Amino acid sequence: MAVGIFDSGLGGLTVLDAVTKRLPDVPFVYFGDNAHAPYGVRDADDVYNLTTAATERLWDAGCDLVILACNTASAAALRRMQESWVPEDKRVLGVFVPLIEALTERQWGDNSPPREVAVKHVALFATPATVASRAFQRELAFRAIGVDVEAQSCGGVVDAIEEGDEILAEALVRSHVDALQRKMPKPDAAVLGCTHYPIMEETFQDALGPDVKVYSQAELVAESLADYLERHPAMIGPGTDSLFLTTGDPSRVSAKATRFLRRKIEFQPA
C-alpha cells in the first residue's frame, strides 16, 4: 500500500514530511535523483527522461501512485507523461494543482469553468525550467481568469539549500524578491513554486512584507493526496515498506537529509 514521492533532490522531503503526518498509516517510498540535481537548469527532454526513469523505479518498489514533488518535473514532464506514457493502472500526479486550487479557493476536484477570483496579482518564485515552461500559468488559466502572474526565476537557491548554506540562500531569496518587486511592486499573493523553498519561507515572507500571502506546497499537497486516496483507494500500491532511495552517494545524501528534516534519514542506493 505504498505511495511514491519523487524529487530531483532533497526539496521533496518537505512534502514527504507533510504527507506522512497527514497519512501516518501509508508507507511512502521517497526517490531523490541527487546524482542529476538540480533539474531546474535542464531542458525539458532531459527532465522527462530522468523523471520517467525514476517513476519506473518507484513502480518497481510497489507504488502505483507517484507524486512528482518536484515542480520542475511537474512543469516540464508531467503532462507529456500523462498523455502518452503512464499505463492505465498507474497514476502520476504533480504539485501545481493543489496549490492553484488553494490560491483560487476552489474545492479539490472542482472542474467547473474558469472564473474570476479574489487574488489578482500573483508572484511566482520558481526554478528557471519551471518559469520557462509556463506550466503554472497554464494550469491557473484552467481555473481562473483575470489573474496577472509575474514569474521570477530563482537561480542558485536550490543549490544553496542543498549545500546547507543558509546565509547564501537568504541573500539569494532577498535578491530575487527585490527583482520581482521591481516588476510587480504589490503582489496580492506569492507562490513558492519549488519544494525546496518552504525551508526559506520565513525569509520570503519577511522580504515580501506582511500584506502578501505566501503559498507553500507541502501541507496543500498532503491534504490533496488524502482526498485523492479517499476517492481512489485502489491507487494505493502493493508495497509495504517505507524507503528512501537515491541515485547519489547514500551516506552523503543521508547526512544532508538528516540536517534538512532534523531527524535521522537513511537512504539506500536506487
Q: How many helices (H) and strands (E) does the chain have?
A: 12, 12
Three-class SS of residue 231? helix
> Where in the sequence numbering do the catalytic residues fall?
70, 194
In the chain, how long is the greatest CA-to-CA distance? 50
DSSP 8-class letter at 266? -
C-alpha cell recorded at residue 269: 542506493
Gap between the Cα atoms of 32 and 45, Å rounded: 19
C-alpha cell recorded at residue 46: 532531459
Gap between the Cα atoms of 232 and 204, Å rounded: 36
